[in-house]
Copies of this chain bind each other. A is one copy, B any other.
């Protein structure tokens, strides 16, 4: 098999893995009581500190009206709260409440637990291979390298 063809094959299978993985994760997320978009937004707020609606929308790759509504819902349910910026009355900063912090951590723990359960099926040497490749994948997927060809 040519190197070119081999790459294509790996990409194909990686694609399949990602899809199956995400399906499983979605199922786990359901038990948190928060929808995907809400959980995801909460995650940014919890780990990204207090931030504005606009910044949050950008981080989540949605438009501001969408984020306004998400934040309103999450605020209504007590997962986060807002306080206006004393220096700029236009912006409102969003921050997680203890309840919001907890729901996110619990959900995250569930997801990680599920994945860890799957990884437990590997032998120590296999686990080592996966660990190494995770580092590599991390760098190319999350990294700021040039985005896809896609013409």
**Interface of A with B (CB < 8 Å)?**
3, 6-8, 10-25, 28, 31, 61, 110-122, 124, 126-127, 129-138, 140-143, 145, 147-151
Could you say which residues of chain B place their CB within 8 Å of the CB of A22? Answer: 18-19, 22
Given contacts A20-B143, A114-B150, A132-B133, 10 further A-B contacts (CB under 8 A): A6-B127, A7-B127, A11-B115, A11-B116, A11-B118, A14-B21, A15-B111, A19-B150, A122-B136, A129-B136
Complex copy number for this chain: 2
A60 vs chain B, min Cβ distance (A):
10
Complex partner residue of A10 from B12, B20, B127, B145, CB under 8 angstroms: B127
Complex partner residue of A141 from B112, B113, B118, B133, CB under 8 angstroms: B118
Q: Is B15 touching A25 in the complex (CB atoms < 8 A)?
A: yes
Could you say which residues of chain B place their CB within 8 Å of the CB of A113? Answer: 11, 148-150
